[in-house]
Structures are given as structure tokens and as C-alpha cells.
Amino acid sequence: MQKSIKKRMHSGEHIFIQSLIRQNPNVKVEKVELDDKESKVFIIADKLDWQLIFKAENLANKIIKEARDITIKEVSKQEAAKIPNLRARFDRIKSDKVRIVEVRDFDLSTCTGEHCTNTSQIGGFLVTGFNSLSNKKYEIRFTVDITDELFEQSQKFREIISLLNTEKKKVIESLINLKEANKKLKELLRELQKDQPLKVKEEKIGSINLISGIFENYEKLILMRKSHDFVKKKTIVLFLNSTEKGTYVTINLSEDSKKNANELLQTILKEFNGKGGGKQNFASGFVENKYKDKVIPKLKQMLK
């Protein structure tokens, strides 16, 4: 990473974390990963959402625009422990000396990294992504020197407004309505799929009865359950479910087929760069859509 970029990323992260703490005092930093284009900070907090993050982002950019000095000093560990509002992990500091980075009248934190000398050098702060990893643990992605990034996001936003055929202030409302409508359609489709008979192909390969079918956008659990209904003596059921994300592969077989569903699946996945797993009588996996027409012929070849 270039030194100047690292300095801006690191200084921006300090200011943002302090801004976040001022919105939620329970925020704790677990880890920071700095990179040239997009950095990450991993947070532990009781509650974190976009509205709180936006408030912290706004405050961070206010501090950056005010061109505050960033200074560094070294003090003894004993002296550092007495400094009010110092953000520090003393359990991680092995040295008797503590290096303190100060953003004037805003943040004090212990740090050994390189920093800007003035907040204006950061060039703005932008949160590029946010998601919950587990209970009380979050990942926040960010970047600095944000002019190009803002233009790119603005272009995408304007395109979204056009696609939704709405106004800028109604975009969120339109997306919520669209999401709700999509949810209802999925529920309706799920109900229709429960009662819809499957069109399958049944053929004999040696002593094995192979039942196969390729379907589109089926509810995964419904298709899995229906595959069980086709299992009979010396039977292997192979169902493929093609979606926008890729093709789901389900293998269900009878014990007297003397085959192992997971072993058959793993051979298929290895051939087509997929992933998945299962047990002796049932296995499921995933391959790219470009391979969906090759899976059934591959299984037939394996059974001959």
C-alpha cells in the first residue's frame, strides 16, 4: 500500500471510530484491515444500523473539513493510563512507552501506525458497505479521498431512480414496496409449486432406475422434498434447479442402489468446479448455469 493512502485510510478510520462511539458509546473495535481501495473495520456493538452509521459518517466528514491538526506524542504507559477519554488496549501494549495519536479536540487513541498531519489531507470519508457477521459483530467497509467514488455511486443512484420510475426522495419507499411485492410473489409461487406435478425423465441404466429433471426457479426445499417421493427400488433421483445464481444439484437414492449419493455428487462437482456435500442416500450441491446440461450426461456415464 502506498504510504500516502495508508496514512489517509488510517487517519480516516480513527476519526470515524470516534464518530461512531459518539453515536453509540458501547462500540468496540475488534480488528482493522487497511487496503489501497477499500478498508475494513470489524466492530462489536449492542446495536448498529445504517442510520447510526450515516450520522457517524457525517460527523467524520465535518471533522475532516475543519482541517484539524493530527499530532503524535509518546508518554509512559503509567502516564497514558491516567489520560481521560484515551482509546487504548493496554493489554496489547508490551512497551513501557505509549504512542498517542491526537485529532485536535476530537480523538485520542494509542496507535503505532502512520497518519496524516491534518484531517483535510484525508479527502473525505465514505462507508462503502456494512453487514452483520454474527450476534453483536459487524463489518464496515470504507474508503477515503472519495470524489471518484461519490461520482460512481451517484451515477448508479440516478440509474436506479430511472429504472424505478420514481423520485429521488421516494427511492427507499419504492424499493421497500418492490421487495414486499417480490416476497408475495415468491409465496404465491411456492404454493403453486407444492401442488404442481414434476415432469421427469425415467430411464434404465444397467440395474439402476434413473429419474432426472431440470427445473427453473423452484423453491429449494420443495424440490428436495419432492425428490424423496420418486425414490423406489434401485432408484437414483437427480434433480437440477436452475436459478439466477446458478444451478442446484440434488441427488437422492435408495439404499438398494448400492451407490453413495455424496460420492456421486463430489465426482460431478469436481468435474464442473462446484461445491456441496451430503450423506450416503442424499446430497446436494451447486454448479454454474453453463454446466447444467452436462450434469445428467455425466451421471449417466458414471453409472454405465
Torsion, Cα 116 120 123 125, to 10 degrees, reads 90
Phi, psi for residue 71 in degrees, rounded to 5: -125, 160
Give the C-alpha separation, 66 to 259, whole Å: 70
Per-residue confidence at 10, pLDDT binned at 50, 70, 90? very high
Write down the pLDDT at residue 70. Answer: 97
In the sheet that holds 247-253, the strands lie side by side as 201-205, 208-216, 235-242, 247-253, 282-287, 275-278
Contacts of 277 (CB under 8 A, 6+ apart): 262, 265, 266, 283, 284, 285
Percent of the chain with pLDDT over 70: 99
Write down the pLDDT at residue 149. Answer: 85
What is the CATH architecture assignment of 3-147?
2-Layer Sandwich (3.30)
Mean pLDDT of the chain: 91
Beta-ladder partners of 126: 143
Write down the pLDDT at residue 15. Answer: 97
Write down the pLDDT at residue 182. Answer: 85
Q: Which long-range contacts (CB under 8 A, 24 or more apart) does 207-210 make?
A: 207/234, 208/234, 208/235, 208/236, 208/257, 208/259, 208/303, 209/233, 209/234, 209/235, 209/236, 210/235, 210/236, 210/238, 210/299, 210/300, 210/303
Write down the pLDDT at residue 69. Answer: 97
Write down the pLDDT at residue 2. Answer: 65
pLDDT in tens, 138-167: 999 999 998 888 888 889 999 999 999 999
Beta-ladder partners of 43: 29, 138
* pLDDT at residue 249 greater than cutoff 80: yes
What is the DSSP track for 190-221? Answer: HHHHHHSPP--EEEEETTEEEEEEEEES--HH
Write down the pLDDT at residue 219. Answer: 84
* pLDDT at residue 178 greater than cutoff 70: yes
Indicate yes or no: pTM above 0.75. no
Per-residue confidence at 1, pLDDT binned at 50, 70, 90? low
Write down the pLDDT at residue 237. Answer: 95
Write down the pLDDT at residue 110. Answer: 93
Q: Does domain 199-303 have CATH number 3.10.310.40?
A: yes
Give the C-alpha separation, 127 to 38, whole Å: 9
Write down the pLDDT at residue 148. Answer: 82
Per-residue confidence at 135, pLDDT binned at 50, 70, 90? confident
* pLDDT at residue 176 greater than cutoff 70: yes
pLDDT in tens, 275-300: 999 999 999 999 999 999 999 999 99
Domain boundary assignment for the chain: 3-147, 199-303
pLDDT in tens, 31-51: 999 998 999 999 999 889 999
Counting every residue written for the chain, the total comes to 304
* pLDDT at residue 190 greater than cutoff 80: no
Write down the pLDDT at residue 165. Answer: 92
- Reference 5, options 52, 40, 48, 39; nearest CA is 39
Phi, psi for residue 139 in degrees, rounded to 5: -115, 130
pLDDT in tens, 42-82: 999 988 999 999 999 999 999 999 999 999 999 998 899 89
* pLDDT at residue 3 greater than cutoff 80: no
